[in-house]
């Protein structure tokens, strides 16, 4: 899944996981988990994430390489938020070739920038179970409390408006060129990301054939 911050990559990847049962591998989730565990990797990643910058390629490539080696990924997987640079995309091609696998589709989700900012600025995430809510589009029954588990809802540290703008700039500079990489490989599926999550999901599934 490729797309700018707030395009709905995580939302769609979760729905694909539920429908098709293949693992959802999110580098953003892996890095946030490392931060929560207080590991060295997490401490290093925190500086980059909080500033809206990309974590260095070698760190993220190593994480994905280890994750793809787990048995549940052998029949297939959904990558969310990786690759994010052309170098990561080339390394992923090499990783998959070593395993006799290949990328079948790169789903690019397209959403206008003002909508991205609205989605991210209002997003809240449960500290306990990771469920997402939105203060306007999907408000919790009790403000600040997760509908699913009763945990505390918080704003991601990189969802503040100045950091959102920085993430969008980084996307345009570093990640948008990855779309051309996949267009050249004839695996790109561009999908409009506006409408309800369910409407977008039906388009994503249709684009996958």
Catalytic residue among 9, 32, 119, 203, which?
9
- Shorter beta-carbon distance to ligand AP5: residue 10 or 108: 10
Using CB under 6 A as the binding rule, whether residue 203 contacts ligand AP5 is answered as no
Using CB under 6 A as the binding rule, whether residue 49 contacts ligand AP5 is answered as yes
Stretch that binds ligand AP5, among 69-77, 119-127, 146-154, 176-184 (CB under 6 A): 119-127
The Cα–Cα gap between 92 and 110 comes to: 23
Q: What is the DSSP letter of 175?
A: I
Stretch that binds ligand AP5, among 6-14, 33-41, 68-76, 140-148 (CB under 6 A): 6-14
Reference 162, options 85, 48, 50; nearest CA is: 50
Helix axes 27-37, 40-50, angle to 10 degrees: 120
**H and E: helices and strands count for the chain:** 9, 7
Using CB under 6 A as the binding rule, whether residue 181 contacts ligand AP5 is answered as no
The Cα–Cα gap between 164 and 160 comes to: 6
Name the closest residue to ligand AP5 (Cβ).
28
Catalytic residue among 123, 124, 189, 203, which?
123
Backbone angles phi, psi at 158, to 5 degrees: -95, 10
Q: Left if phi > 0, otherwise alpha if psi is -120 to 50, otherwise beta: which for 38?
A: left
List 60, 146, 178, 188, residue binding ligand AP5 (CB under 6 A): 60
Stretch that binds ligand AP5, among 35-43, 46-54, 99-107, 179-187 (CB under 6 A): 46-54
Strands 24-26 and 78-80, sheet pairing? parallel
Using CB under 6 A as the binding rule, whether residue 27 contacts ligand AP5 is answered as yes
- Whether the ω angle into residue 83 lies within 30 degrees of 0, i.e. cis, is yes
List 86, 105, 132, 187, residue binding ligand AP5 (CB under 6 A): 132
Interface contacts to ligand AP5, rule CB under 6 A:
3, 5-11, 27-28, 31, 48-49, 52-55, 60, 81-82, 84, 88, 119-120, 123, 132, 134, 137-138, 158, 167, 195-197, 200
């Amino acid at each position: 899944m490729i797309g700018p911050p707030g395009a709905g990559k995580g939302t769609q990847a979760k729905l694909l996981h539920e429908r098709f049962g293949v693992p959802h591998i999110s580098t953003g989730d892996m890095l946030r988990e490392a931060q929560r565990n207080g590991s060295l990797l997490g401490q290093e990643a925190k500086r980059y994430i909080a500033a809206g910058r990309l974590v260095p390629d070698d760190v993220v490539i190593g994480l994905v390489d280890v994750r793809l080696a787990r048995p549940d990924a052998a029949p297939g997987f959904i990558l969310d938020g990786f690759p994010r640079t052309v170098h990561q995309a080339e390394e992923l091609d090499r990783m998959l070739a070593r395993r006799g696998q290949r990328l079948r589709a790169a789903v690019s989700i397209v959403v206008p920038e003002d909508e991205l900012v609205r989605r991210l600025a209002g997003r809240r995430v449960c500290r306990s179970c990771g469920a997402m809510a939105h203060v306007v589009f999907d408000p919790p029954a009790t403000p600040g409390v997760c509908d699913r588990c009763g945990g505390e809802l918080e704003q991601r540290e990189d969802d503040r408006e100045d950091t959102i703008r920085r993430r969008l700039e980084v996307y345009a500079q570093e990640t948008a060129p990855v779309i051309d990489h996949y267009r050249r490989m004839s695996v790109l599926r561009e999908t409009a990301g506006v409408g309800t999550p369910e409407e977008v999901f039906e388009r994503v599934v249709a684009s996958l054939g």
